[in-house]
Amino acid sequence: MKDVKLIRNVALFGQGKSGKTSMAEALLFSAGKTKRLGKVDDGSAIMDFEPEETQRKISINSSFNHFNWKKKQVFIIDTPGDDNFINEARYAAHVTDAAIFVIDAQTPVKFQTEKIAGYLQAENLPCLIFLNKMDKERADQEKAVAQIKESLPFEPLELYLPIGAEADFKGVVDIINDKAYLLDNKGKITETPIPENMADEISIKREEVMEHIAETDDDLIEKFLDDGELSRDEMLAGLRNGVINGLLNPVIPGSATENLGTELLLNAVCDLLPSPADKESKTGVDPKTGDIIEREPTIDAPFSAQVFKTMADPYAGRLTIFRVFSGTLSESYFYNVNKETNEKFGNLLLMEGKESSPVDSIGPGMIVAVAKLKETTTGDTLCDAKQPIIYEELKPIKPMMSFAVSPAKTDDEDKLFSSISKMLEEDPTLQLTRQEQTGDILLAGIGQVHLLVLGERIKRKFGVEMTLQAPKVPYLETLKGSARVQGKHKKQSGGRGQFADSWIEISSLPSGSGFQFENKIVGGAIPRQYIPAVEKGVSEAMVKGVLAGYPTVDIQVALVDGSFHAVDSSEMAFKISGSLAFKKGAVEASPVLLEPVMNVVINIPKDCVGDVIGDLNSRRGKVVGMDSEGKEEIISAQVPMAEVLGYAPELTSITGGRGTYTMEQSHYEEVPAQLADKIIEDAGKKE
């Protein structure tokens, strides 16, 4: 186990297509961990190894690796930037010590960039900014830094000025060390004379850098104001403290695919980012007393870790990945405080893309994997059973889209849902529920691409194919009026006959009242033993309403009169009689169709409010509240479910991918007459 001060735990974040995986590949290659520079475009990247990632050229899962640089052991997490898989980035932000935010110099700030930056801000993560694609057309460091400062919760600090622009980008001037470097495609830097035409710009920038560093520390600002100067050592010490405390975000220009500027970034990771020992103690809760307790990030503290990812494999079984916060392991088991059980494990593994290597000892800051744990799932805290602690639960992003899921082949139903259950362990943003009324099994995810990729992975891993369809709307029926009707069942076909005669009064009840049955028989018009059969006949008939075959709700039925036959009457006859009475009475009591109405909460940029509200109005929605949170507007609305089944892609289109929403069922309302007629007509055709 290395000295904790020599560990770095860092995750790469950024919007989709910003070049995070290419940056991870460049770091590994330049540090000597890999023999060749992996490329996303040709499918040779070792950090994007799933076939679905290779095919789509995007990261779907967080991937892990480690390397050594300047006597430091660096653990890296490459996170997805696509909105469908962004929960992986949130979980990584929760367990990592620091961040490298990869920003595209051509298009520095998109909504996705702001969202991910918000995750880092919420976790107070020290962050370096790698300004990528500096060799591409329209790349401009000055403009990019201005956008970052304006739109993101960062304090960008230009430590380097680029030499050359766009295709001519070839090196940098180091402001603090007053040196110039040429960059080569092996990731290395070579010292070169500072271009004479940059002297004035360097002087101005050095003054800015010095001032920004001084402002992070009272002693430094006092010295700077008195002397007008900071020494190189004072600047470097102040810079590191400013980065660790989240006050400064150094900007490092380069090109991940061309491996330009990688050594600058490697040096910054080791020199400026915190070790676990530089971080505050991890706070948790004593599971027995509920008291707040802490774990220091040292090898002498009691062992504690948190699981932040689970990977399902049909052959290798479940692979559990966790971050160690304190202590080390001396036993072949650990205590899962969430499940209140000891979990034995075999080899401890360090992940290296899709490969892994065994490790004998582990300690704070390390990302470790173990296979085939029986009880442990994502979010669980692992610790010393004698000194238990439970860390804050990881809360996944709520799914936004639901589809009715079924196997492509009927015989594969058990196999499909067994496979989906395994994927639910791996991806907590998925939800599988059953809509009792329609019989649909609903699979919910972040977006359509999310669920399509899930289908591809299930087919590849488990050999079963699933189909997705729009879910059925669970309409209901009710009554607006009342009626008094007779349900008479008489059958005579040789032998013993069937006879039952029931008179019922049927009427409506307030929404949510359900079904109420009242016995008003007097004088023994119907024998007591047959009365439950009438109620059962009515309740069974209610399952399929008279308008369109949807369940009938919120009605009251009173059994008021009837007659029987001493020989031919039976429970079955009175059950049929009750059913006939309900069907006849429902038709006469003004039946109406009800539809589910959803509570929808939508988070959007302020400039999209008008378009989104207009779209909600077109969907028969009602805006019930608006609120502001930072740069976002939060719209609360009630919208019929039928109008928002495919809302996610529509909201994406309206907001340019900047909108998100959550939705849950609120209540039922009567369907407008013209729409009800169409629904009833369609139901008749299906019948």
Per-residue pLDDT reduced to its tens digit, 618-652? 999 999 999 988 778 999 999 999 999 888 889 98
pLDDT at 436: 83
Pairing status of strand 555-563 against strand 515-519? parallel
Nearest to 552 by CA among 574, 517, 582: 582
In 415-472, the DSSP E strands lie at: 431-434, 441-445, 466-469
Taking a C-beta distance cutoff of 8 angstroms, is the pair 287, 337 a contact? yes
CB 50 within 8 A of CB 66: no
What's the confidence (pLDDT) of residue 429? 94
pLDDT at 399: 87
Phi, psi of 553, deg, nearest 5: -130, 165
Alpha helices in 589-637 (DSSP H): 609-618
Residue 649: CB partners within 8 Å, gap ≥ 6?
A: 447, 448
User: What confidence score (pLDDT) does residue 687 get?
Assistant: 62
Cα separation, 228 vs 456, whole angstroms: 62
With H, G, I as helix, E, B as strand and everything else as coil, classify residue 71.
Answer: coil
Look at residue 586 in the predicted model and tell me its pLDDT: 96
pLDDT at 400: 82
pLDDT at site 316: 67
Buried b (16+ CB within 10 A) or exposed e, 607-638: ebeeebbebbeebbbebeeeeeeeebbebebb
- In order of their start, the domains of the chain are 4-278 (3.40.50.300), 282-383 (2.40.30.10), 401-464 (3.30.70.870), 476-589 (3.30.230.10), 594-686 (3.30.70.240)
Q: How far apart are CA 164 and CA 171, in angstroms?
A: 7
* Residues linked to residue 304 through DSSP beta bridges, in sequence order: 326, 383
CA atoms of 446 and 63, how far apart (whole Å): 20
DSSP 97: S
Question: 664 CB contacts (<8 Å, ≥6 apart)?
Answer: 598, 599
In the chain, pLDDT over 70 holds for what percent of residues?
99
Tokens, residue 609: 């409010």
Question: What does the pLDDT read at residue 244?
Answer: 97
Q: Which residues pair with 628 in a beta bridge?
A: 633
Regions of the chain short of the pLDDT cut 70? 1, 314-316, 494-495, 687
What is the pLDDT, as a whole number, of residue 331?
A: 80
pTM: 0.86
* Burial of 515 per CB tally in 10 Å (0-12, 13-18, 19+): middle
